[in-house]
Structure 1
Amino acid sequence: MKMKNGKDFIIISEDKEIKVHKLILQARSELFRGMFVSVNDNSNRVNDYSDKSNESLSYFIKFLYYDEIDYGMKESIYDDLEELQDFYQLNERSFLRDHIDNLKSNF
């Protein structure tokens, strides 16, 4: 399945689809790396079971792509991002926790 901008994978969250690149997910998340490497499944979609809002998941995916956090997001999303980091097993090179700690210290 070929999607816009070469995106080749879909994460389904709250009945909404977030189109992403498998390569980005695999490079940034131990969970996805394991899923794509060790599971011989040609599926191009997965349901999000993190129990986080679509908004939180969208911010998280944006972080995976750009290593940046939107400083205008609601404070309630910070905790969700920390939990998503653990849920999706971000690799050690991720700076998400550092970004969140900086944001929280400014409040």
Structure 2
Amino acid sequence: MQVNAMSDGFTKLLAFASVLLAVGLSPAHATLFCDVKKTKDGFVAVREKPDAKSKILVKVPFGEDVQLDSTRNEAKGWAPVIYSGPRRGKMIPGWVRSSLIVQECG
């Protein structure tokens, strides 16, 4: 009887671990931060829309990073991002030129 109780506990533990692993590896939970590239202006513009003429919401200085926004799809050379600044305060969603962020994000 004691062996049966141990195997039942192990089975429950294994099932719980499987659920945690599946949730942890889900792409919806992946958070990628990408460094902005050095530009002659010294910043990369986060824009309201994926368009070079769109309103600039914030200027991200070289050395900062932006978070890729996995809830939106890329739009012809533009990446959806969220910028929260060096203090990780206010979150600003917007768009940056894909060519202006480092492609190896982590």
Kindly name which structure, 1 or 2, has the bigger radius of gyration based on alpha carbons. 2
Task: Normalising by structure 1, report the TM-score.
Answer: 0.25
Q: Which protein has the bigger helix share?
A: 1
Task: Normalising by structure 2, report the TM-score.
Answer: 0.26
